[in-house]
Chain A
Amino acid sequence: MNKKYPVIAEIFLLVFFAAATTAHGGIFTVTKTADTNDGVCDSDCSLREAAAAAVASPETEDVIIFSPALSDTPLSITNGEIAIDDGNSLAILGFGADHLTIQRTGGDSRFFYVVLSGTLAVTGMKLTGGTGTGRLMAAGRS
């Protein structure tokens, strides 16, 4: 994969969302690889917790980033798809597909279930192990 353009795109998105979040958004930092959910995204924050916090945020532009400590350490999704059901905009900014891997393990599920009226940007990561054909209709969502 050509690394030049994703990096440029990430920089653009980071600047864009950083500017937006100055007045309108929050930044949530994923700090752990395990797929836990205690309902709080603080110094101990999984991707699932960060997504939930961003969705719950009253801000119009939110950003999820990853702690540098997670570089080259795969994150696991073990508890089903992560719902991103938001009326606002969200960016999930990875380090790049060579250094950030999100792997789904255990049962069948997608990585994300996305319903929003704003913009979701997902950048710079490897996604592996996703499954779950047909679950969208089974869940009654359209």
Chain B
Amino acid sequence: MNRGTLLADGIFFYRNTAFSSSPGGGGVLAMSDLTTTIRNSSFSENGAAAGAG
């Protein structure tokens, strides 16, 4: 099991189907057991599961 860190900074998530930080989620970033920080970012016109997960 990995214990990494993901930082997404200044990202515009636009028209993606889904986004989730949990296993089985999907979309932009598939993250496995990472500590995740999303900052200075925005979301627009993404799918129903869009968000920080």
Contact = CB atoms under 8 A, between A and B. Distances in A.
A122 B8 contact: yes
Contacts of B13: 126-128, 130
B4 A117 contact: yes
DSSP class of A's interface residues: helix, strand, loop or mixed? mixed
Interface in B28-48: 28-34, 39-42
B11 to A, nearest CB: 6
Given A1-B12, A112-B30, A113-B30, A130 B17 contact: yes
Most buried by B among A2, A127, A136, A137: A127
Interface in A1-35: 1-2, 5-7, 9-10, 13
Contacts of A129: 15-16
Interface residues of A, number: 43
B6 A114 contact: yes
Contacts of B6: 114, 119-122
Given A13-B9, A114-B31, A131 B3 contact: no
Contacts of A137: 23-24
Contact of A130 (B5, B19, B31, B40): B19
Contacts of A127: 11-14, 16, 28
A48 B31 CA distance: 18
A89 B34 CA distance: 13
Interface of A: 1-2, 5-7, 9-10, 13, 81, 94, 96-97, 108, 110-137, 141-142
